[in-house]
Amino acid sequence: MNEGNDVTDEQKETEDETGGETKNDDHELPSEDLQYPEFVFEEGEIADDGSFELDADLDREELREWVEDLAGGLASHDIAVESPEGYVTLGVAPEGAELSFDPGEDGVGDFEVTVQMRAKAMFVADDPEGEKVGARGGKGFVPIEALTGAGESEEFRCYNWIDAPTDP
């Protein structure tokens, strides 16, 4: 994401093509490409503020599907996590990644991949079976000003306008 007045080469090309107007659509996807993965855990809690620490044992195919889903959620800026004790929808943005490998004497060890994302809770519920809002619930939670252009565009970027994710 660009900070301040930094302009990428792609934006410069767009600016030249549009006669000076810069269009930053690198975060926009066509609706058919939007993906909203929900990572479901069989046990664990999601707190009232949306925080959690959950883990799952996954086989090769399940892990492959989770990684694909994670990539789709990152592209769509939206991921949900569900446990029997709660549900949270997060707006996400990339931060970085870490990889490590520590083999034993036999050359075998754990290969670990950590993906870091900045996230904001958009919707939190204590009942994962209850009504959901946003892309998954069909209800939406976007303020009318974000849709009509009545507010500043940066005011509504990446869900920063959500103050109470338990009451969208």
Taking only the tens place, the pLDDT of each residue in 47-65 is 999 999 999 999 999 999 9
Which residue in this structure is represented by tokens 């009942």? 127
pLDDT at 165: 61
Q: Is residue 76 part of a domain?
A: yes
Count of domains observed in the chain: 1
Q: Give the integer Cα–Cα distance in Å for 18 and 34.
A: 26
User: What length is written for the chain?
Assistant: 168
Q: Give the integer Cα–Cα distance in Å for 138 and 127.
A: 17
Q: Is residue 70 part of a domain?
A: yes
Q: Can you give the residue range of the structural domain that contains 155?
A: 32-159
Handedness of CA 28, 29, 34, 40 (dihedral sign): negative
Q: Is residue 6 part of a domain?
A: no
- 134 is written with which tokens? 């946003």
Q: DSSP class of residue 90?
A: E
Region 61-74 average pLDDT = 93
Specify the pTM: 0.66
Region 112-125 average pLDDT = 91
